Amino acid sequence: MPNGSSSRRGSQRTAAPTPYPQSVQRAIDELAAMPGIGRRTAERLAFYLLKGKPEVAQSLASAIGEMRTKASPCTICGNLADEPLCRVCRAAVPLPGGEAPARDASVVLVVEQPRDLFAIEASGAFKGVYHVLMGRLSPLEGVGPGDINIADLLARVDDPKRNAGGLPVREVILGLNPTLEGDATGLYLAEELGKRGVSVSRLARGLPSGGQIDWASKAVLEDAIEGRRGF
Ligand SMILES: [Zn+2]
């Protein structure tokens, strides 16, 4: 679909013929397609990359290429990782010599997106491991249990070999956003996990109503994890 043909119908600006050479226009179009980047910002970024040293643009292009090649979901929890296991899951693997690992793989905190995980990690309030769903159930948008990373979570609970460090999962904490979809996802998971006899809790309601976990402050996250309650 040609950029801007269906959106921004009211704008005369996008309908006008482009003053830029095709190569520059293409870069502007690619940048403007990013979330949160308007036309003006896209133009500013394109000219910054055009006027600066060639290394700046090359470094950006190679960083994007490297990220796309290397970063993939952790094979256990779905967190972003440059290796088969993410940093958190690696820290839950027992150390040689019988020393206790830094993270407790028997407690799994379920979040919707990697950014929720990063916010909780930044608070330093949690020493268990995670499971990233990569979304939430939304019947209205046609997102069902098979569309997000639920099967792998249940497999971790069913088979300790699928969990970090090969440890049985003792408790699952639901760290979903307090939205209608987050609640629906929590109810579904609590039922499935309940059948398996694993303890299910959820973050205390210290989070701003309708807010997002990744916006919450460090203190709010600490309270939410400390004050978690049974589902
Ligand atoms: Zn992981």
pLDDT of residue 209: 46
pLDDT of residue 64: 96
Q: Any alpha helices (H) in 33-137, and if so which ranges?
A: 39-51, 54-70, 87-90, 114-123
Residues of the chain with CATH 3.40.1360.10: 72-230
- What's the CATH superfamily of 12-70? RecR Domain 1 (1.10.8.420)
Residues of the chain with CATH 1.10.8.420: 12-70
Contact (CB, 8 A) for 203 and 128:
no
Q: What is the end-to-end Cα distance of the chain in Å, rounded?
A: 46
Average pLDDT, the chain: 87
Distance 2 CA to ligand 1 centre (A): 39
pLDDT of residue 98: 80
Rounded to whole angstroms, the Cα distance separating 145 from 78 reads 16
Rounded to whole angstroms, the Cα distance separating 60 from 215 reads 27
* pLDDT class of 124 with cuts at 50, 70, 90: confident
pLDDT at 144 over 80: yes
Distance 164 CA to ligand 1 centre (A): 8
Mean pLDDT of 27-38: 96
Contact (CB, 8 A) for 27 and 18:
no
Which stretch of DSSP H or E encloses residue 201?
strand 199-202
pTM: 0.76
**194 CB-side CA count, 13 A:** 9
φ, ψ of residue 49 to 5 degrees: the values are: -70, -30
Rounded to whole angstroms, the Cα distance separating 75 from 169 reads 16
Distance 167 CA to ligand 1 centre (A): 14
φ, ψ of residue 120 to 5 degrees: the values are: -70, -40
* Percent of all residues in the chain with a pLDDT value above 90, rounded to a whole number: 66
pLDDT at 42 over 90: yes
Q: What angle do CA 219, 136, 31 make, to 5 degrees?
A: 85
pLDDT of residue 210: 47
pLDDT of residue 178: 83
Least reliable range by pLDDT among 64-68, 114-118, 172-176, 215-219:
215-219
Distance 192 CA to ligand 1 centre (A): 21
Least reliable range by pLDDT among 133-137, 138-142, 202-206:
202-206
pLDDT at 2 over 50: no
CATH class, range 72-230: alpha beta
pLDDT of residue 214: 59
pLDDT at 17 over 80: no
List Cβ neighbours of 52 (8 Å cut-off, separation of 6 or more): none
Distance 129 CA to ligand 1 centre (A): 7
Rounded to whole angstroms, the Cα distance separating 6 from 142 reads 24
Distance 120 CA to ligand 1 centre (A): 14
Distance 94 CA to ligand 1 centre (A): 15
